[in-house]
Amino acid sequence: MKILVALKQVPARDLTVEADGARAWIDESALSHEINEPDAYALEAALQLKESSGGEVVAVSAGPARVQTALREALAKGADRAIHIAVEGEAARGTDPSVTAMLLEAAVRGEQPQLVLTGLQSEDTGSGQTGVILASRLGWPHATLVVAIEPGPDSVRVKRELEAGWFQYVTIPWPAVLAVQSGISRLRYATLMGIKRAKTKEIRSVAPPPEAAAQPNIRLKGLAEPRRLRQTQFLAGSPAEQAAQLVEKLRFEARVL
C-alpha cells in the first residue's frame, strides 16, 4: 500500500512565541521548529501499516526550506522518500487551511496513494481541517479523530474517538484520507542507522500549484493578547515562600482547604 503522510513543521512546543513588531504574525527569527505532534502520530501510523502490510511511505510537507529538516526526520524514522512543496509567506502558514489542502492536493494527484494520513490538527494554527478539505477536493471519503486503522481489500475500518470517552467504528472505501488523533500508538525514535540511511533518501522539491497563489478564503488580520478570564494572583518568592502563600490563600481567601 502506498501511503502519503502530510507533515507540518511548527514552532517547538516549549518555546515562547512572540508576536512580530506589527502584530501581523509571530516573530519567526528566533524560533526552532519540530514536527507537529499529531502529524508525528500520523507518520507512526503509516510506518506501522507499512510494517504490517508492506508498501511505501511518502512524507510531504509544504513550507519554506526549513521544513526539509522535518522531512529528513521522517525519512530517518522510516519513510521511503519525501516531497517538499516549496512555499513562503502567508501560504506557508496554514492560516487558511484550504490553501494548505490545495498545496497537498497537487502532491496527492501526482503520487496517487491509496491512503493519505494527516494529524488531526496543527499546534500552531490549529484549525483541524486540512485533511477533511483535502479529501473533499480529491472526492475521497475521510474520517477524523482516528485512533485505530484496520485496512481491508476494498475498504478501511477505523476506530474514531467521539466526545467524553465514546468511540465508534466506521468503514470507508479506498482511497481515503484519515486524520489521526494523537496517542494512536507510541512514537518511535529515529535510530542511528535510520539517520544514516535518511541521508541517501530523496527529498524532491516541487513548486506550489498556481491556484494556491489565489486570495485566501479567510485572512488573518493580526494577533491580539489572550484575554484573562480570572484575576490571576502571581505568587512571588522562593518555592517555599510561594508554597506557604498558596496554602494560606487557599485556606483563608479561597476557603477551599
Residue 19 binds to other proteins (criterion: CB under 8 A): yes
Q: Which residues, numbered 83-112, are part of the site for other proteins (CB under 8 A)?
A: 95-98, 101
Residue 256 binds to other proteins (criterion: CB under 8 A): yes
- Taking residues 43 to 62 in sequence order and writing x for each that binds other proteins by CB under 8 A, - otherwise, the string is --------------------
User: Which of 21, 29, 163, 189 is in the footprint of other proteins by CB under 8 A?
Assistant: 163
Helix axes 97-111, 130-138, angle to 10 degrees: 50
Residue 29 binds to other proteins (criterion: CB under 8 A): no
User: Which of 22, 192, 193, 254 is in the footprint of other proteins by CB under 8 A?
Assistant: 254
Find all residues with CB under 8 Å of 140, minimum gap 6, and list them: 116, 175, 176, 177
Amino acid 37 reads: E
Closest to other proteins by CB, 213 or 250: 250
Rounded CA separation 104/130 (Å): 9
User: Which of 51, 109, 169, 191 is in the footprint of other proteins by CB under 8 A?
Assistant: 169
Could you tell me the CA-to-CA distances from 205 to 65, 153, 241, 247, 248 in Å, in that order? 9, 33, 55, 57, 60
CA dihedral 140, 144, 149, 155 (to 10 degrees): -30
Residue 168 binds to other proteins (criterion: CB under 8 A): yes
Closest to other proteins by CB, 213 or 247: 247
For residue 163, the SS3 value is coil
Closest to other proteins by CB, 195 or 216: 216
For residues 181 and 161, the answer to whether their CB atoms sit within 8 Å is yes
Rounded CA separation 137/61 (Å): 18
Query: Which range binds other proteins by CB under 8 A, 65-73, 78-86, 141-149, 196-204?
Result: 141-149
Q: Which residues, numbered 209-248, are part of the site for other proteins (CB under 8 A)?
A: 215-235, 239-240, 242-244, 246-247
